[in-house]
C-alpha cells in the first residue's frame, strides 16, 4: 500500500518550510542534529559565502586561541625578516653576535613592538626601521582591537543552552499514543515564553513520482511560560495526525524526519534564542516512555534536574495503537 | 473540607508553567524571591551547567575587581618564578642583591610586561627569557581584551530596574476584595508596554494523592502603557478567581505561591527586560491596603515617587469577604 | 459649563497609562518635551536611583571627554603624591633639581605608567614604588577597558533619530477638523513598521473633585510601513473624539496634555527604537495647517526632505468646527 | 485608455507607505536597488543629518583601514610639529643631525607615544614636552578605544545576508500568471520566520492630475518558516491584483516600482534583520520563469544551492494572460 494513502488525509500539509518539495533535491537529511540546514552553497566565493566573524565566534575556544597564537608568531616572523632586510644596524641595543641570534633579537623586537611593550633596550634607528616599527605598533593595536571585539562577540553571542533527547519516542499517551521529545535547559539561564513548532518531512510517491511532503504536527502545548525543568514536547497521534494510520513498519521503512524548532526569551542574554534539531524516523523509539528526570532534593527545599537522564526511557507497550483504523 | 473543593471550579487551571505537577518534586518554593527558579541541576559538569561569562557579569562589583586583582597577582607570581628558573642573569638592568630582591624584580618585570608598560630598565636577554616575555605580553593583552569585554558586558546587560513590594495584600477592592502587589521602577529608565502575568501554584489533595495545581489569575489590567510611577497589580477575587471561596484560614494553612512575571520594553537599554518574583501564601497580608507612594512636589511642578513607601500599607477590614458563598 | 460634560461621552477613556488619576499628584506636566516622564524619585540613594553607566552614555560628547580628562589629571596627581611620599629617590633617571620639578617628574612618570607608555627613562626602583607602579598600570588598563566599553555604549545606543514639530495644530481635515502633529527622521536611518499611540490627559472636575482623565485618541493611521519622509499624525475630531464639543476657549483654558508615543524598527541599529513627546494644550495652534516639507529635487531624480520646515504652518480657518453640536 | 482605469478596482490601495502621494515629489525611484529610500535631507547640518558612527560601520573595509591610517599619519605629523616647536632639545636620546632627521625623530617619538610603545630611547624632558606626551598617550588610548568600538560595531552589525534576483519575472503560474522575485541567503546564517511584504507604487492620472498610487500585492506565501534555500516570492495575478488588466504595453510604458520588504530572525546575529529592494517596471521580464537553483549533491547527502543561478531564467509564454478580461 502506497505510503501517501497511509498518511492521514486530515493531516494539515504545510508548504512554506523553506525546503524544496522535489525529493531529488533531498540530500538525506533536511536538518542536521545540530540544527543547521543540510545545505551547501556554490557559485559564490569562499569569503562571500561565509561570515569570517561568525565563524571565529563559533570556533571551539582552544582553536580560537591557537589561531591567535599562530597569527602572533607568523606576523612577528614576517616583521623580523623585514627588519633584518632593512639592516640589523638600524636596531640599537643589540647584544647578539651570530646571525641566528640577530634574527632572534629582531623577532623579539618585533614582538615588543607589536604588543606595545617597547622595553626600549632594542630600539629603531633611522627612517625605514622607525617607520616600520610605527606601522607595526599600529597594526598590533588594531589587531588587539579586533581581538577584543571577537572576545566580546564570543561571550555575548546569544545561544539557546538547551539539550534535546537523542531519540524521539512513540509512547503511550492517555488512550492513544504520542510522539514525544524531551528538551531541558542545562545552564543557569531562565528561558521564558518558550514556543515549539514541530514539522515532519516525508518522501512519498504521488501520481507515480516521489515528492517531499511536509506536515505540521499539532502539539499538546505549543508553549510553556518558563522552561525551568524539562519539557516533554508531545504530539498526540489523534485523528488529525499524519501518523494516524502508521504501523510499526511504516515508521521503520519510511524516509522521513521530524523537524523541531524552539524559540524562547533568555533572560541571561535578554534576547530571543532559537534552536533547531531533527529526528529521522530511524531515531524514533517505537514503544518507550521517558523516565522522570527531576525530583525533590534530599533536603526537601529544592528541585533537582538530572541532566544525565534526559534521554532515559523504559519500554512501554504501544502495540494497541497499530490496529486498523478507518479514515477518510 | 478538602482544599481542592475550596478552589473555585470556575478558575482557569493552567498547566504549561514549566513546573512539574507532582508535589513530591516541590522543593518548598517554585521561584525564589529574586525570581530565579528554585532548581538545581545534576548529572552535568560544573562548567557545563554554568555560564562563566554570565556568572562574572552578575558578580557584585567589588568581587569582580577582587577576582581581577587576584588573577593579576597570581599570574605575575607564576611568571616571576619561571623567569627566575630560566636564570636571573637573563634579565638585564637588575639593581638588586639579595635573592628576595631578585624575586621582587622578576615579579615587577613580569608586571611591567603583562601590562605592556615595559619601562625597559629591566629587559629580557637571551632566547628563553625573551620568548617568555613575548608570550606574557600577548597573554596580558588578551587578558585585557577579555576584561574589556566583561566590563562592557556588565554595563550593558539589560536588567529590569524594578522593585516589588515585599508582601502581597488581600485588600478591599470595590465591593469585593483583591490580591494586590505593587511594583515600581527605581532607576532613571522609562519602561513602556509593561505586561504582567500572575499564576498561583497550590499543593492540593486530589483522588487521595497530592498534586501541584496551577491557576492563572485574571488581572484588573494586564498591561500599562508606561511604567513611570508605581503599578499596583490587582487580581480581583471575583467568581472566576481560584480564591473565591477561601477563608482567612485557607490563606494561612495552604502551601502555595503567587508567581509574578513582568515584561517591559526599557528605553534605556532599548531592549525587552523581564523580571519575576514570588509570594508564598505566608507573605500575603490579610486585610491591608497600600498607602499612596507618589504625590506632587512642594514646588508643584513634578510628581515625586517615594521608593521607600513601596511596601507601606495600613490595615483594612476584609472580613466581609469570608462569608459563605455559593459556587458551582 | 463643566469641562467634563464637554468631553465627548463617546470618547474612549483609558486608565492604564502609567500616570495617576489624582490631579493633586499632577506636577504641571506628565511628560517633558524630551519624552522623559516628569517624575522625581525619593526615599532611595542617589546611586541607586540613577544608572551611572547610562548617565555617562547620554552626556554631551564634550562633557564626556572633559570627565575623562579631569579623571586622568586627578588620578595622576594622586599617584604623583604617593610616589613622592614613598621617596623620590626610588624613581631612577630623574633629571630635575627643584622640588617643583621633582613633583612634575613624578606626575609625568605616573602618566607614563597609567597610559602604559613606560618610556623607562624614569623607572621605579625598590619594592614600594615598583608595587605602586604595577598597581597603577593595572588601574590604567582597567580604566581604558571601561572607557572602551563606554565609547562603544555611546556609539551603539539605539536612539530614535526623530524630530517632532514643536506645535500640534488644530487643522482643517476633510469636512471636519483634526489635531495634527508632524514627525520626521533626521538621520540616514530607515525606520520601518512605525507605530504611534496618542493619549490625552485632562484635569477635570468630577462629582465636585478634580481628577486626571486619560483618553486614547483614534488616529487616521496608527502605523506606516516606512518612516522615510515626514509623517503627519492625524487625530480627526469625529463624533468619538474627546474634543468633539470643544470650543476655542476650551482648548485655551483647559489644563491638559497630548502624549505621543512612537515605536519603530530602525535598520541602522537593527533594533526597536521608542520615542515620546508631549504637547500641552497651550502648544496647540488653533487654526493652522502644515506646509509641505518635501519635494522633488531640481534634477528630478530624488525627493528632498526639508527638515527646517518641520514646524512651518500657515493659518487656516477652523471656526466652522466650533459650532454647537449635539452629542449623547 | 487611462492607466487608472486599467488598475483593477478590486485591488487594495494602501496609503501608509511612508512615501508621498504627490507625483511631483517623486524623484524617479522610491527605493534604490540597495534598499535605501531615494531621499535627501536638507535644512539641517551635515553632521546632524548623518550618523558618523553608522557611516563608519558601513564603509568598505579598505576605506575604513585607509581612514585609520591617514588619521594616524596626520595626528602624528601634528604632534611632531608641536614637539619641534617646543624645542627639539626637550627630547632626550636623539641621534639625528639634520633638521629633516630631527623632524623624523620627533615624528617617530610621537608615533611611539601615540601607540604607547614608548621605547624610551627618545623621551620627553621638561614640563611642556612631558605634558604634551602625556596628552598624546591619553589621546592615543582613547583613539584605540574608539577604534575597538568601531571594529566591534562593524563585526556585530546585523545584516540580512540575502540576495535578490536582479529582475522580477512575469511568469506562468497555474492557469494564470504571477510576478515572481527570487531571494536567497548567501552566508552561513539561518534565517527563520521570514516575512515578505510587497507593494507597488504607480504614477497615475486621476481627475486630470497625476498622483502616486500604492497597492499592497497579495502573495502566495507571506512567510516561510526557514529561509534555507531560495524563496520565490510570488504575487499571483488574480482578480484582486492591481495588474489584472495590464497588457504587455502597460508594463512597459507605466512609471512604477515594485517595493519588496523582507524581515527575518537571523540566528547568527540572534536579531531581527530587515532588507528592502525595488524593481522598476523596466526591470520586470515579461514572459520568463526562474530555473531551479538547488539540487542534490553528487554524493546524495546534501542539497547544493547555486547562488550564481539566482537570476537565471528561461523564456516562457504568458501571452494568454493579456487577453481582454471583464472587471467591475
Question: Could you read off the pLDDT of D147-205 as tens digits, one per residue?
Answer: 999 999 998 888 888 999 999 999 999 889 999 999 998 887 788 889 999 988 887 77
Q: How confident is the model at residue A290 (pLDDT cuts 50, 70, 90)?
A: very high
Predicted pLDDT of residue B133: 96
Predicted pLDDT of residue C91: 93
Closest by Cα among A160, A146, A159, A161 to A53: A146
C-alpha pair distances (Å), D317 with each of A79, D253, D285, D320: 64, 20, 12, 8
Helix (H) or strand (E) holding B176: strand B176-185
Helix (H) or strand (E) holding C195: strand C191-206
D276: chain C residues, CB-CB within 8 Å = 190, 192, 226
Q: Which among C22, C43, C120 has the least Cβ separation from residue B121?
A: C120
When pLDDT is averaged across residues B53-81 and rounded to a whole number, the result is: 94
Task: Give the three-class secondary structure for C109.
Answer: helix
Q: Which of A146-155, B100-109, C239-248 has the lowest mean pLDDT?
A: C239-248
Which residues, in sequence order, are CB contacts of B273 under 8 Å at separation 6+? A270, B158, B159, B160, B191, B263, B264, B265, B266
Distance from CA of B72 to the nearest CA of D (A): 21
Are B208 and B273 a contacting pair, CB within 8 Å?
no
Percent of chain C whose pLDDT exceeds 70:
89
Chain B and chain D share a number of CB contacts under 8 A equal to 6
Percent of chain D whose pLDDT exceeds 70:
89
The 10s digit of each residue's pLDDT in C102-147 is 999 999 999 999 999 999 999 999 999 999 999 999 999 999 999 9
For chain A, state the CA radius of gyration: 30
Predicted pLDDT of residue D328: 41
Three cell numbers, residue B158? 539589560
Predicted pLDDT of residue A124: 94
Average pLDDT score, chain A = 86
Residue C1 has pLDDT above 60, yes or no: no
Predicted pLDDT of residue C328: 41
CA atoms within 13 A on the CB side of C204: 20
In chain A, whose CA is at the least distance from the CA of C116? Answer: A117
Beta bridge partners of C226: C192
Predicted pLDDT of residue A327: 47
C64: chain D residues, CB-CB within 8 Å = none
Q: Which of A164-173, B207-216, B308-317, D130-139 has the lowest mean pLDDT?
A: B207-216
8 Å CB contact of D18 and C296: no
Q: Please state whether A180 falls in left (phi above 0), alpha (psi between -120 and 50) or beta.
A: beta
Chains that touch C (3 or more CB pairs under 8 A): A, B, D
8 Å CB contact of A18 and D68: no
C-alpha pair distances (Å), A108 with each of A122, A253, D301: 9, 65, 50
Are C322 and C313 a contacting pair, CB within 8 Å?
no
Q: Which among C18, C41, C43 has the least Cβ separation from residue B224?
A: C18
8 Å CB contact of D120 and B116: no
B231: chain C residues, CB-CB within 8 Å = 18
For chain B, state the CA radius of gyration: 30
Predicted pLDDT of residue B1: 44
Taking the C-alpha atoms of residue C281 and residue A115, their distance in angstroms, rounded to an integer, is: 62
Residue A298 has pLDDT above 80, yes or no: no
Three cell numbers, residue C307? 527638515
Three cell numbers, residue A228? 525551568
Q: How confident is the model at residue B159 (pLDDT cuts 50, 70, 90)?
A: confident
In chain D, whose CA is at the least distance from the CA of C271? Answer: D272
What DSSP assignment string belongs to C70-82?
HHHHHHHHHHHHH
End-to-end CA distance of chain D: 16
The 10s digit of each residue's pLDDT in B106-150 is 999 999 999 999 999 999 999 999 999 999 999 999 999 999 999
Q: Which among D20, D51, D116 has the least Cβ separation from residue C187?
A: D51
Closest by Cα among B64, B95, D165, B116 to C134: B116
Are D225 and D192 a contacting pair, CB within 8 Å?
yes
When pLDDT is averaged across residues D312-321 and rounded to a whole number, the result is: 91
Closest by Cα among C252, C311, C243 to C286: C252
Are C318 and C170 a contacting pair, CB within 8 Å?
yes
In chain D, whose CA is at the least distance from the CA of C149? Answer: D149
Residue D1 has pLDDT above 50, yes or no: no
Q: Please state whether B145 falls in left (phi above 0), alpha (psi between -120 and 50) or beta.
A: alpha
A188: chain B residues, CB-CB within 8 Å = 49-51, 54-55
The 10s digit of each residue's pLDDT in B259-304 is 899 999 988 888 889 888 999 998 999 999 999 888 777 776 778 8
Closest by Cα among A7, A285, A278 to A170: A285
Complex ipTM above 0.90?
A: no
B121: chain C residues, CB-CB within 8 Å = 92-93, 120, 123
Predicted pLDDT of residue C293: 86
Chains that touch A (3 or more CB pairs under 8 A): B, C, D
8 Å CB contact of A18 and D229: yes
Q: What is the pTM of this model?
A: 0.88
Q: How confident is the model at residue D65 (pLDDT cuts 50, 70, 90)?
A: very high
CA atoms within 13 A on the CB side of C270: 20
Are A230 and A309 a contacting pair, CB within 8 Å?
no
C261: chain B residues, CB-CB within 8 Å = 192, 225-226
Average pLDDT score, chain C = 86
8 Å CB contact of C134 and B186: no
Q: Which among C117, C192, C307 has the least Cβ separation from residue D44?
A: C307
When pLDDT is averaged across residues C2-17 and rounded to a whole number, the result is: 66
Q: Which among C18, C120, C130 has the least Cβ separation from residue B225?
A: C18
- B21-25, B38-42, B195-199: which is most confident: B195-199
Residue A2 has pLDDT above 60, yes or no: no
Q: Which among D115, D156, D294 has the least Cβ separation from residue A116?
A: D115
Which single residue is written with the C-alpha cell 514503544?
A287
Helix (H) or strand (E) holding D216: strand D209-216
What DSSP assignment string belongs to D127-138?
HHHHHHHHHHHH
Which residues, in sequence order, are CB contacts of D200 under 8 Å at separation 6+? D214, D215, D217, D242, D256, D257, D258, D259
Q: Which among B116, B120, B148 has the least Cβ separation from residue D120?
A: B120
8 Å CB contact of A144 and B146: no
Closest by Cα among D321, D324, D12, D4 to D170: D321
B120: chain D residues, CB-CB within 8 Å = 119-120
Which single residue is written with the C-alpha cell 534535546?
A164
In chain C, whose CA is at the least distance from the CA of D153? Answer: C156
The 10s digit of each residue's pLDDT in D80-125 is 999 999 999 999 988 888 999 999 999 999 999 999 999 999 999 9
Q: Which residue has the higher pLDDT, C14 or A233?
A: A233
Q: Which among A25, A148, A269 has the least Cβ separation from residue D303?
A: A25
Distance of CA D90 to the CA centre of its chain: 52
Q: Which of A172-181, C153-162, D12-21, D70-79 has the lowest mean pLDDT?
A: D12-21
Helical segments of B157-247, H only: none
A160-197: burial string, b at 16+ Cβ within 10 Å, e else = bbbbbbebbbbbbbeeebbbbbbbbbbbbbbbbbbbbb
8 Å CB contact of A120 and C120: yes
D79: chain A residues, CB-CB within 8 Å = none
8 Å CB contact of B225 and C140: no
8 Å CB contact of D119 and B119: no
Predicted pLDDT of residue A288: 94
D187: chain A residues, CB-CB within 8 Å = 48-51, 54
In chain B, whose CA is at the least distance from the CA of A156? Answer: B153
B206-233: burial string, b at 16+ Cβ within 10 Å, e else = eeeebbbbbbbbebeeebbbbbbbbbbb
Helix (H) or strand (E) holding C42: strand C39-42
A304: chain B residues, CB-CB within 8 Å = 39-42
Residue D315 has pLDDT above 90, yes or no: yes
In chain D, whose CA is at the least distance from the CA of A130? Answer: D108
Three cell numbers, residue C268? 541602522
Task: Give the three-class secondary structure for C89.
Answer: helix
B21: chain A residues, CB-CB within 8 Å = none
Taking the C-alpha atoms of residue C54 and residue C153, their distance in angstroms, rounded to an integer, is: 9
The 10s digit of each residue's pLDDT in B210-238 is 777 888 899 988 888 888 888 999 999 99
Average pLDDT score, chain D = 86
Amino acid at each position: 500500500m502506497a505510503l501517501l494513502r497511509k498518511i492521514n488525509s486530515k493531516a494539515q500539509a504545510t508548504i512554506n518550510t523553506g525546503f524544496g518539495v522535489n525529493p531529488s533535491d533531498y540530500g538525506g537529511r533536511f536538518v542536521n542534529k545540530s540544527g543547521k540546514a543540510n545545505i551547501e552553497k556554490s557559485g559564490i566565493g569562499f569569503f562571500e559565502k561565509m561570515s569570517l566573524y561568525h565563524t571565529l565566534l563559533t570556533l571551539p575556544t582552544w582553536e580560537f586561541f591557537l589561531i591567535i597564537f599562530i597569527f602572533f608568531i607568523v606576523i612577528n616572523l614576517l616583521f623580523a625578516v623585514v627588519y633584518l632586510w632593512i639592516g640589523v644596524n638600524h636596531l640599537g641595543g643589540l647584544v647578539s653576535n651570530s646571525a641566528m641570534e640577530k634574527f632572534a633579537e629582531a623577532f623579539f623586537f618585533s614582538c615588543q613592538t607589536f604588543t606595545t611593550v617597547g622595553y626600549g633596550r632594542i630600539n629603531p634607528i633611522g627612517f625605514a626601521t622607525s617607520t616600520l616599527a610605527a606601522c607595526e605598533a599600529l597594526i598590533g593595536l588594531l589587531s588587539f582591537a579586533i581581538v577584543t571585539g571577537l572576545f566580546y562577540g564570543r561571550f555575548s553571542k546569544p545561544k539557546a543552552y538547551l539539550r534535546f533527547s537523542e531519540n524521539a519516542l512513540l509512547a503511550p499517551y492517555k488512550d492513544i499514543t504520542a510522539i514525544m521529545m524531551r528538551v531541558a535547559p542545562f545552564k543557569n539561564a531562565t528561558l521564558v515564553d518558550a514556543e515549539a513548532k514541530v514539522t515532519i518531512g516525508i518522501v512519498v510517491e504521488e501520481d507515480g513520482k516521489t515528492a517531499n511532503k511536509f506536515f505540521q504536527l499539532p502539539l499538546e502545548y505549543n508553549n510553556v511560560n518558563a522552561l525551568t525543568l524539562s519539557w516533554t514536547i508531545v504530539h498526540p497521534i489523534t485523528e488529525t495526525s499524519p501518523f494516524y494510520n502508521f504501523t510499526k513498519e511504516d515508521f521503520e521503512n519510511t524516509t522521513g524526519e521530524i523537524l523541531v524548532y524552539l524559540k524562547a526569551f533568555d533572560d541571561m542574554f535578554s534576547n530571543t534564542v532559537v534552536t533547531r534539531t531533527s529526528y529521522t524516523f530511524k531515531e524514533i523509539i517505537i514503544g518507550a516512555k521517558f523516565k522522570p528526570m527531576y525530583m525533590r532534593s534530599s533536603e526537601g527545599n529544592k528541585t533537582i534536574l538530572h541532566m544525565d537522564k534526559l534521554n532515559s526511557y523504559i519500554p512501554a507497550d504501544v502495540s494497541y495503537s497499530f490496529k486498523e483504523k478507518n479514515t477518510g
